[in-house]
Structure formats: structure tokens, C-alpha cells
């Protein structure tokens, strides 16, 4: 009876040791085989490629976000410009419908310049207004004579400055021109009297 128990215990111990040895051998073989596979599969190269691809993907993602922010800023700027353009067009329409005409100024209001008034129309605008159309560049107020005040030393300089700002090639035409006797340019006390006496006259255009 005792011998049978001893033999049973011995068999169990041997079986356990054999199982442990088998597991160790299998684990060692799996480890060695994994190393062989990694070396044959160029694991380091693959890891380096994956790391490089990850950096590229991160850079592309950052660029996409930057482009999104730029596009959002451009959209905001465009919306602001469109709103400003709408406000300007509304203001132009108000000025066109206003019974009071605004005066356009050319030149510096300082001595020895003197003011000259030109009544100006734009023939292209006038023709399009008569057809019920709007000019693509100029507002409809140019269909009627508009006052333009030019500050210059004399009538010839005033005419040249006026034609520079409002050229005939663009359709502008002065229907009348005269010096503004009711408005005096700034003068100093020593030359005021002489400048007033030398003021030439302008004939109607």
C-alpha cells in the first residue's frame, strides 16, 4: 500500500517536471523563432519607416489645420469687405438721391493756391442714365453737372490739374469754369493784397 502511494507520488512529480521542462523548451523555441522572424523581417527598418510615416502624417495634419485657419481668416476678411462694399453702395445711393450736392476737392487749400470751380458731367454716365442703366465705374450723379473745386496757382494750372484727375478719355467734360470769388485761399499779410490783384479771370468753358 505504501509502495503504491510512493510510486504514485513519484509519477506525479516526474510528470510535473516533464511538463515544466516542455513549457520551458517551447517558450525558448518561441523566443528564438521570434528573434529569427524579426531579423529576417527587418524589424528596425519597419519601425523607422513607421516612425517616418507618423511624422509625415503629423506634418500633413498640421498643414491642414493651418490651411483651415487661413481659409477661415480669408472668409472673415471677404465677408467684412463685402459688408463694407454694401455700405458704400448704400451711401452712394443716398448721395445720388439727396437734394444737396457734395463738392469734390482737388489740390491743397493753402497759399498761394486759389480756388476755381468747374461744373463737370460725364457723358458716358449721362447716356447710360438716359437708357435706365448704371455705369460700371462711376455713380449716376455724374449725369448732372457736379461742382469740382480745384485749388491751384492760376487758371491754366487749375485746368491741367482738373484734366489730370478727370480725363476726357473717361468721359468727363467741364461745362463751366470760373474762379471762386466768394472763397479766398489762405494768404499771409504781406502778399495778400498783391495776390488778390493778380487774380486772373476764367472764361466759361
3-state secondary structure of 118: strand
Instruction: Check: CB of residue 131 under 8 Å from CB of residue 203.
Output: no
Name the least confident of 34-38, 139-143, 151-155, 189-193: 189-193
What number is the average pLDDT over the span 142-171?
Answer: 94
Residue-level pLDDT at 42: 65
pTM of the shown model: 0.45
At residue 139, does pLDDT exceed 80?
A: yes
CA angle 62, 65, 69 (to 5 degrees): 140
Mark out the alpha helices in 115-170 (DSSP H runs): 123-130, 155-165
Task: Report the candidate in 113, 91, 110 with the shortest Cα–Cα distance to residue 102.
Answer: 91
* 74, burial (CB in 10 Å: exposed 0-12, middle 13-18, buried 19+): exposed
Q: What does the radius of gyration of the chain's CA atoms come to, in whole angstroms?
A: 47
> Any bridge partners for residue 105, and if so which?
149
Instruction: Check: CB of residue 149 under 8 Å from CB of residue 106.
Output: yes
First-to-last C-alpha distance (Å) of the chain:
146
Q: Which helix (H) or strand (E) holds 83?
A: helix 43-97
What number is the average pLDDT over the span 133-146?
Answer: 89
> Any bridge partners for residue 177, and if so which?
118
- pLDDT tens, 41-79? 666 777 788 888 899 999 998 999 999 889 988 888 898
Would you place residue 11 in the very low, low, confident or very high pLDDT band (cuts 50, 70, 90)?
confident
Would you place residue 184 in the very low, low, confident or very high pLDDT band (cuts 50, 70, 90)?
very low
Amino acid at each position: 500500500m505504501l509502495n503504491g502511494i510512493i510510486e504514485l507520488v513519484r509519477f506525479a512529480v516526474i510528470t510535473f517536471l516533464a511538463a515544466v521542462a516542455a513549457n520551458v523548451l517551447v517558450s525558448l523555441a518561441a523566443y528564438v523563432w521570434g528573434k529569427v522572424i524579426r531579423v529576417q523581417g527587418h524589424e528596425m527598418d519597419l519601425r523607422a519607416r513607421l516612425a517616418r510615416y507618423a511624422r509625415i502624417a503629423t506634418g500633413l495634419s498640421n498643414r491642414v489645420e493651418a490651411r483651415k485657419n487661413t481659409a477661415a481668416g480669408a472668409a472673415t476678411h471677404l465677408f467684412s469687405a463685402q459688408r463694407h462694399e454694401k455700405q458704400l453702395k448704400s451711401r452712394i445711393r443716398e448721395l445720388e438721391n439727396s437734394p444737396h450736392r457734395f463738392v469734390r476737392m482737388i489740390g491743397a487749400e493753402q497759399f498761394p493756391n486759389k480756388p476755381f470751380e468747374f461744373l463737370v458731367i460725364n457723358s458716358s454716365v449721362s447716356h447710360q442714365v438716359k437708357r435706365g442703366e448704371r455705369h460700371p465705374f462711376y455713380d449716376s450723379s455724374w449725369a448732372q453737372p457736379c461742382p469740382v473745386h480745384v485749388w491751384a496757382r492760376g487758371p491754366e494750372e487749375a485746368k491741367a490739374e482738373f484734366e489730370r484727375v478727370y480725363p476726357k478719355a473717361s468721359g468727363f467734360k467741364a461745362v463751366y469754369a470760373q474762379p471762386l470769388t466768394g472763397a479766398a485761399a489762405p494768404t499771409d499779410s504781406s502778399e495778400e493784397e498783391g495776390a488778390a490783384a493778380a487774380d486772373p479771370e476764367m472764361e466759361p468753358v
